[in-house]
Each structure stands twice: as structure tokens, then as C-alpha cells.
């Protein structure tokens, strides 16, 4: 597979690198040359084929144009061909050593001294003029529950004396979600309808009044494994391709009624929003972090425990949630930041542990499968990744300014997830937008 790669940096991460794409040099860009995430796009309002592009500054390097116009070694040209045809899975299925070679080739081509500016400048497309889609075919979606502070806060709402169930610190909890309703950032999300039940009254059917967001990271699988062939923890990183932001919308009133005994159903399957740009595991190498568990917590079972993963398996990413109401929008305001947290403090399990556990019983993962982290909340007030926590189950409204209060989402509200990674000695990178606006329920 090419050897474990998490935490290993190379020439593509050097903070001194400069790109001939001017906007990539802006200090606040999510997409400097040190990032180079992949996405699937076509020109806006034009009937043309989808292809894979690389975000650089406020531009997209069209890999269809780059494949034909650039100067590439044979193995790089071979990897670019399916990307030019819109097939990201072809790259995802390759060993990480191949993916690193392509990343290095693209990085060199986009550098000021790379000698390819004249060849590739015509292959730049402004992001503002691009239509973006879900970046790859997502065959299966599994949502985990790795956010221990979220699990504790929600548990206290329903089980004040025993917020965490006995298995939580021993096994990564997850369930299989609905892949067909995964949508890309910018897609409106229609308020779901379903059954709700209050107190001892008979259940009713109608639009959810408890619509919520969930701040998550989504991990996209790279090379798969055979049916019946577990992936050991020390090889699990080789099966991770990259990371997106993920909003797993939730209808809390419907969820409370339906989730026992088999878990959520209609309360979750109506929509999951992801960001369009896949930040690769290679790009995240400078931002890996130690996973520290509180003293006295049980050590994971051997199949989930590894010195290397313990030392650098977490991801140091600052996460934010912004909520823009119709009133904000009308006034030209971006909305209110309602929470912020850091992924390395929020998650109890690493992405590699999720892969190892998911396959430990013989499940076969495939390129493009999506693993959600579960809601990522910090330990402090204002770090909650859902309204369920921020409003204590809808009992304490939050103030969004301009006299606006919310317990759960109203029609017209837009939720924006943001994330960036920043460390001394490294160029900061971001994930791009993950935005969804609530549309009214079907009549």
C-alpha cells in the first residue's frame, strides 16, 4: 500500500512555497498551494461533462485541461486521465504512494518556479463560475458517535445519573446511514415530515419542529478491502483518502419517538450535507495530533490500540458553526457564529480506529465510502456542535442578535460549517464551505 503516511511531511508542505496563482497567496485563503484538495465540477450553466479539479486560491485547476496541456511524466499522465473524465474513485483506489506522487507533481506545476504556468494558465476556472457536486460516488455511509463531549451532554439530558452507556469508551459506536440523500454544499434541505409524540399523547404526523444540525467531519475511504479481510490499525491510514465537512441534519422530535429500539430513521435519512472539496490525508500531515484520553479511562482493546495512532492519529482542526437567518440575509449580514470547537479535543476515537473497527468483523469497505465522525463538541459552553446541546434540549433559546432567538432551526435559516488547520511552522489550510439552507416542508 505504500507505507503509513500520517504525520509525514514532504516538500509539498513547505510554508515557503509560492504559487503563480495570485489568489493562492492571499493570507486568508482556504486553498494555498500547500492544500490542493480535489472536487468534481463543471462550468456554471453550461452543458458540459463533469471533471475533477483542484482548488487553488479562488480558482479551480481543471484536470481535463491540465492533462492535455501540461507536461507530465508517464505515470502522472496515467493518473490524470480518469480525473479528467470526472472519476475521483480511480485515484482514491490507488496506494497512498501514488497519491503522494501526483500531489507532488501538481504542487511543482503550480509553483512560481515550476515552469508550467504558460501551459496551465488556460486550465484555471474561477470557483465563482463553477458548479460543484458531491466529489465522488458514495456507495455507503456510516455515521459514528466519536464526540465524547456531545455524547455526554446529550446523555445528561436523558440520563442525568448515567450519561455515557457502558460500551462508549470501549467500542466506536456507529450506525449505517443513507447514502442517497447526501448532498453537496449549497443544496437546500427541505424540512422533513414524520411522526412525533409528546408526553403520553398519541403520536401525530407533520413537519418536524425540532430541526437541528450536527457539526461533523466526514472521512472518505481510499483503497477498499476484501470481504472477510479486516484492516489492521497499523494499516488503516492507507485506506483513508481525505476529509470533508459534514452536516448530518437531524429532526430531534422525530428522533426521540422513533430511535428505540433500532436507532434513528426518518429523523436522519432526509439529508446529509458535505463540503465539495476533499482535503487529502496528505495535506493534513502537518496537522496531526496526539489523542489523549482522561486518566483512568480504559485502554482500547489491542485491535484498536497502536503507539503511532495514539501519538498522531487525531486531526488538529478548528471548527465553527454559523447560522444566518432570513433577517440577517436581508440585512446583508453573514449571521452569527454559534459555536466553535477543535476536532482533536472533541473526538474520542481516531479515523484509523474507525476503519479498523468497521472492518474487524469482515465488512468490505470500498473507495468513496463515507464515515461520519458524529457531532464534534468541545468541553466548554459555546463549543457545542448542535442546537440540541446549546439549547439544552430546546428549553433555553440562544440569542442570534437583532432580537432573534432560536431553539431549533426555522425555515430560511442557513447553516454554514467552517474549518481550518493552523500551526506554527506550517501554512494554514481550510476546507471550504459546507452550507445548507432550510426550505419549508412539503404541504
Question: Where is 343: in which H helix or E strand?
Answer: helix 343-346
Q: Nearest Cα to 297, choosing from 164, 409, 193?
A: 164
One of 6, 13, 149, 150 is an active-site residue; which one? 150
At 154 the three-state DSSP class reads helix
328 is catalytic: no
Give the integer Cα–Cα distance in Å for 320 and 410. Answer: 20
Contact 55, 39 (CB under 8 A): yes
Give the integer Cα–Cα distance in Å for 54 and 125. Answer: 10
Q: Which three cell numbers stand for residue 60?
A: 479551480
Contact 96, 238 (CB under 8 A): yes
Give the integer Cα–Cα distance in Å for 386 and 216. Answer: 10
What distance, in Å, lies between the first and last C-alpha atoms of the chain? Answer: 52
Maximum separation of any 2 CA atoms in the chain, in Å: 72
Q: Nearest Cα to 364, choosing from 187, 157, 139, 163?
A: 139
β-partners of residue 144 are 174
Q: Is the dihedral of CA 382, 386, 387, 393 positive or negative?
A: negative
What residues act catalytically? 150
Amino acid at each position: 500500500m505504500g507505507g503509513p503516511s500520517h504525520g509525514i511531511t514532504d516538500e509539498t508542505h513547505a510554508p515557503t512555497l509560492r504559487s503563480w496563482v495570485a489568489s493562492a497567496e492571499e493570507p486568508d485563503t482556504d486553498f494555498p498551494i500547500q492544500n490542493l484538495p480535489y472536487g468534481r465540477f463543471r462550468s456554471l450553466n453550461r452543458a458540459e461533462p463533469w471533471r475533477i479539479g483542484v482548488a487553488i486560491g479562488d480558482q479551480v485547476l481543471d484536470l481535463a485541461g491540465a492533462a492535455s496541456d501540461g507536461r507530465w511524466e508517464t505515470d502522472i499522465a496515467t493518473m490524470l486521465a480518469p480525473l479528467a473524465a470526472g472519476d475521483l474513485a480511480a485515484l482514491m483506489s490507488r496506494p497512498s504512494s501514488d497519491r503522494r506522487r501526483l500531489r507532488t507533481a501538481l504542487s511543482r506545476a503550480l509553483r512560481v518556479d515550476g515552469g508550467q504556468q504558460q501551459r496551465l494558465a488556460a486550465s484555471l476556472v474561477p470557483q465563482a463560475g463553477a458548479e460543484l457536486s458531491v466529489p465522488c460516488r458514495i456507495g455507503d455511509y456510516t455515521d459514528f458517535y466519536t464526540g465524547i463531549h456531545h455524547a455526554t451532554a446529550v446523555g445528561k439530558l436523558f440520563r442525568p445519573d448515567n450519561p455515557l452507556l457502558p460500551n462508549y469508551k470501549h467500542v466506536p459506536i456507529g450506525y449505517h446511514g443513507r447514502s442517497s440523500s447526501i448532498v453537496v454544499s449549497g443544496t437546500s434541505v427541505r424540512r422533513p415530515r414524520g411522526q412525533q409524540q409528546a408526553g403520553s399523547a398519541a403520536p401525530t404526523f407533520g413537519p418536524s419542529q425540532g430541526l437541528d444540525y450536527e457539526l461533523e467531519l466526514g472521512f472518505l475511504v481510499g483503497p477498499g478491502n476484501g470481504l472477510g479481510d479486516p484492516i489492521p490499525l497499523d494499516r488503516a491510514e492507507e485506506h483513508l483518502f481525505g476529509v470533508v465537512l459534514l452536516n448530518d441534519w437531524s429532526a430531534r422530535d422525530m428522533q426521540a419517538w422513533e430511535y428505540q429500539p433500532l436507532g434513528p430513521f426518518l429523523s436522519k435519512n432526509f439529508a446529509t450535507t458535505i463540503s465539495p472539496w476533499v482535503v487529502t490525508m496528505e495535506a493534513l500531515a502537518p496537522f496531526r495530533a496526539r489523542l489523549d484520553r482522561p486518566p483512568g479511562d480504559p485502554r482500547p482493546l489491542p485491535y484498536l490500540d497502536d503507539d503511532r495512532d495514539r501519538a498522531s492519529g487525531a486531526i488538529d482542526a478548528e471548527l465553527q458553526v454559523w447560522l444566518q437567518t432570513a433577517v440577517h440575509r436581508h440585512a446583508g449580514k453573514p449571521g452569527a457564529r454559534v459555536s466553535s470547537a477543535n476536532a482533536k479535543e472533541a473526538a474520542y476515537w481516531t479515523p484509523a480506529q474507525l476503519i479498523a473497527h468497521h472492518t474487524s468483523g469482515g465488512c468490505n469497505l470500498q473507495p468513496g465510502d463515507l464515515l461520519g465522525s458524529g457531532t464534534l463538541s468541545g468541553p466548554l459552553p459555546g463549543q457545542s456542535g448542535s442546537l440540541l446541546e446549546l439549547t439544552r434540549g430546546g428549553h433555553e433559546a440562544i440569542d442570534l442578535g437583532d432580537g432573534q432567538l432560536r431553539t431549533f432551526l426555522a425555515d430560511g435559516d442557513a447553516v454554514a460549517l467552517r474549518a481550518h488547520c493552523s500551526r506554527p511552522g506550517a501554512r494554514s489550510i481550510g476546507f471550504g464551505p459546507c452550507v445548507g439552507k432550510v426550505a419549508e416542508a412539503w404541504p
